[in-house]
Chain A
Amino acid sequence: MAIPVKRNRKQVVLLLFMLPATVFFALFAYWPIYGMVMAFQNFSPALGFEKSPWVGLENFQHIFEMPNFLMALRNTLVISSLKILISFPAAIVFALLLNEVTRPLFKKSVQTISYLPYFVSWLIVSGLFYKLLSLEGPLNEVLVSMHLVDKPILFLSDEGLFYPILIFTDIWKNIGWNSIIYLAALAGVDPELYEAARVDGAGRLRQMLHISLPSIKNVIILLFVLTLTSVLSADFDQLYTMGNPSVRKVGEILDTLVLKMLQGGTIRDYSYGAAMSFFKNTIGFVLFLVANYLLNRTQEKGVI
Chain B
Amino acid sequence: MRKVKPAGWFPLLNGLFLILFSFLCVYPFVYVLALSFNEGLDAQRGGIFFYPRVFSLENYVTIFKNPDLVNSYWITIYRVVVGTVVSLGLTAVTSFALSRDTLPFRRTFNWIIFIPMYFSGGLIPYYIVLNNLGLTNNLLVYVVPLLMSSFNIILMRTFMKSLPESLFESARLDGASEFQLFRRIAFPLSGPVLATIALFTAVMHWNDWYTGMVFVFEKTLWPASTLLLNILRSSEIANYVNPKMFMGAGLARKHVVTPESLKMAMLITTTAPVLVIYPFLQRYFVKGVMIGSLKG
Contact = CB atoms under 8 A, between A and B. Distances in A.
Interface of A: 7, 10-11, 13-15, 17-18, 20-22, 24-25, 27-36, 38, 43, 45, 48-49, 94, 97-98, 100-102, 104, 106, 109-110, 112-117, 119-121, 123-132, 136, 138, 141, 172, 176, 180-181, 184, 191, 194, 198, 203-205, 237, 241, 255, 258-259, 261-263, 270, 273-274, 276-278, 280-281, 284-285, 288, 301-304
A35 to B, nearest CB: 3
B119 A281 contact: yes
Contacts of A100: 10-11, 14
Contacts of B267: 124, 127-128, 131
The list of the 8 closest CB pairs from A to B, nearest first, reads A277-B122, A35-B125, A32-B121, A17-B97, A121-B207, A29-B116, A128-B28, A21-B94
Interface stretch (B19-27, B63-71, B241-249, B251-259): B19-27
Contacts of B270: 124
A27 B146 CA distance: 12
Given A110-B22, A181-B290, 11 more contacts: A28-B145, A32-B120, A36-B125, A94-B21, A110-B19, A124-B270, A141-B47, A180-B289, A277-B123, A281-B122, A285-B119
Contacts, number: 256
Given A17-B97, A138-B31, A258-B124, A101 B15 contact: yes
A178 to B, nearest CB: 10
Interface residues of B, number: 96
Contacts of A262: 123-124, 127, 214
A102 B11 contact: yes
Given A20-B90, A20-B93, A277-B123, A116 B289 contact: no
Given A115-B278, A121-B225, A127-B228, A110 B18 contact: yes
Q: At the interface, is chain A mostly helix, strand, loop or mixed?
A: helix
A31 B129 contact: yes
Interface in B236-280: 263-264, 267, 270-271, 274-275, 278-279
Interface in B122-145: 122-129, 131-133, 145
A35 B102 contact: no
Given A11-B103, A101-B18, A136 B44 contact: yes
Contacts of B126: 28, 32, 35
A29 B1 CA distance: 45
A33 B214 CA distance: 19
